[in-house]
Chain A
Amino acid sequence: MTRLVSAELLKLRTTRTALGFLAAITLLTLGLQAIGYATLDAFDEADLKQMLSGAGAVTALLLVLGIVATTGEYRHNTITSTVLVTPDRRRIVVSKLGAYVLTGAFLGLVAMAVSLAAGIPWLSARDISLDALDTGDYAGLVVGGMYAAALAGGIGVAIGTIVRNQVAAVVGTLIYLFVVEPALTLIDDEVYGYTIGGGLGAVSADTGDNLLDPVPGGLILLAWMVVLGAIGAALEQRRDVV
């Protein structure tokens, strides 16, 4: 399995997709931080966390990366070689999940590094006190950000396995994430905490309402990835590669 995960990571490194996403993640982190300066005013603990939680903002991009990487195999028909090498498709799904969880964790770390490296000097230069945050808060931001990004990558793979059409999978996921899930709060406030977006928010120090605590939120995310991944693997076993 290590071999297959390593091959998946090599696939990612040998196209320019990964570099594009790295650039997008960096720009998005910095951009959202700039918006934070413009809109936040209190700079209490919650505001500071929201400003510095770079990875929280990039989880949507990681979902898309997982989807693009997985559906790209169908789009470019490289899935044929992949299945010929590994006829047991469940192993393919598991190796992709592993590879994109690792990739997500790495890119989450990059986003947090960019966010802290840019944000702390910027805040200090404007004489905004960072005293509200202690070492544990920073550690929580980094770990939570990496975890959210990692699971977003994995959930993206699972979605891309279920919906092989790249455009449909990306568009459908974004609509689901930004329209359907928030709309659920209209029905019941509590429900949002159990959604993908709610789980991502809970672990990446989002300060929105209706979120679970980080640990249960993280478990919800894990459950989403495992369930969607299992559905994807079961479908893969049955479907033809055409």
Chain B
Amino acid sequence: MIEVRSLTKRFGRVTAVDGVSFDVPSGVVTGFLGPNGAGKTTTLRMLLGLARPTSGTATIDGVPYARLPDPVGAVGAVLERSGFHPGRRGRDHLRTVARAAGIPEARVDETLRLVGMEQSGGRRVGGYSLGMRQRLALATALLGDPDILILDEPANGLDPQGIRWLRDFLRAYAAGGRTVLVSSHVLAEMSQTADAVIVIARGKVVAQGQIAELAAPSGAVEVRSPGAERLAAALRSRGFGVEAGSDGTLIVTGAEPAEIGDLALSEGVAIHRLAERAASLEDVFLELTGEEATPG
């Protein structure tokens, strides 16, 4: 269980993290979402004792990271800027961490296998692709077989197969009753990986809850009909909200699909499409974080 309370970090006059509070429960994948620069990495760094909070607390199983009796066995972390010496072999990097943590060397090969790197562990990190580095970082995090995994933008640099592999890996990890906190600025990634999300923007938590709740149906129904004008008039006369789009599409609010269908029948108007509109998670995210979609 991770508990963050009123966590704040200022760099000079800039407040990077501003009174952030949240809980991360066990047994699920929790997404930590926000645009780049929202304060995700700084929050995670404070949680892991790498940066000192200006104020507030972050605890893991009730104590700050630095006071955990066996930090590597409790928490494994993959940070965006966790690095490797380019001249050191991947396997040797794991050996140095294992040695410092008092983990037997057999576990090194085990974790290399877990991340699918048994072939490349013997090569120097300088020749690794970004995806291989991410896998090595994950292997490092897994050395202590931790109960909690914290990952900062782990999908960066992974190819589509890698992302899918990571998603399955994290879901399986959480399914075993462990805790996974994974940050991302890419919403699509989260909607398929996380059960719950914490959304952060400009240093503040702007929403938290189950993914399903956040992406609740908006209550609007999309209708397409060759007799759109007639149908719109009939709907309006019954007090429903109607917004007419192009090519005979109507966005109707306040009416159930069944009511619209019945009305269309009684008006003798054909229906070519009738669909409930879910608020896309993307819309919710952009609204919450106040970010405008920029044409890419």
Contacts and interface: CB of A to CB of B under 8 A. Distances in A.
A238 interface: yes
- Determine the interface band of chain B, counting residues with CB < 8 A from chain A: 20 to 34
Interface string B3-18: 0000000000000000
A76 B84 CA distance: 6
Given A3-B102, A15-B88, 7 more contacts: A7-B99, A10-B96, A16-B87, A72-B85, A77-B82, A77-B83, A80-B83
Contacts of A240: 45, 50-52
B148 interface: no
A6 interface: yes
Contact of A77 (B81, B97, B140): B81
B81 A3 contact: no
A85 B100 contact: yes
A241 interface: yes
Interface string A77-95: 1101111111110000000
B84 to A, nearest CB: 6
Contacts of B100: 3-4, 7, 82, 85-86
Nearest to A79: B83
A88 B66 contact: yes
Contacts of A185: none
Given A11-B96, A240-B50, A85 B101 contact: yes
Contacts of B87: 15-17
A20 to B, nearest CB: 10
A72 B81 CA distance: 15
B72 interface: yes
Interface of A: 3-4, 6-7, 10-11, 14-17, 72, 76-78, 80-88, 238, 240-242
Interface centre among A3, A6, A10 (most CB of B within 10 A): A10
Contacts of B102: 3
A242 B71 contact: no
Contacts of A14: 88-89, 92-93, 95-96
Among A11, A72, A85, chain B packs the most CB atoms within 10 A around the CB of: A85
B201 interface: no
**Sorted from nearest, which 8 A-B pairs have the closest CB atoms?**
A77-B83, A7-B100, A87-B66, A14-B92, A7-B99, A240-B51, A241-B50, A15-B87
B79 interface: yes
Given A87-B65, A241-B50, A81 B97 contact: yes
A84 B85 contact: no
Nearest to A14: B92
A15 B85 CA distance: 8
B95 A80 contact: no
Nearest to B82: A80
Interface in B63-113: 65-68, 71-72, 75, 77, 79, 81-89, 92-93, 95-97, 99-102
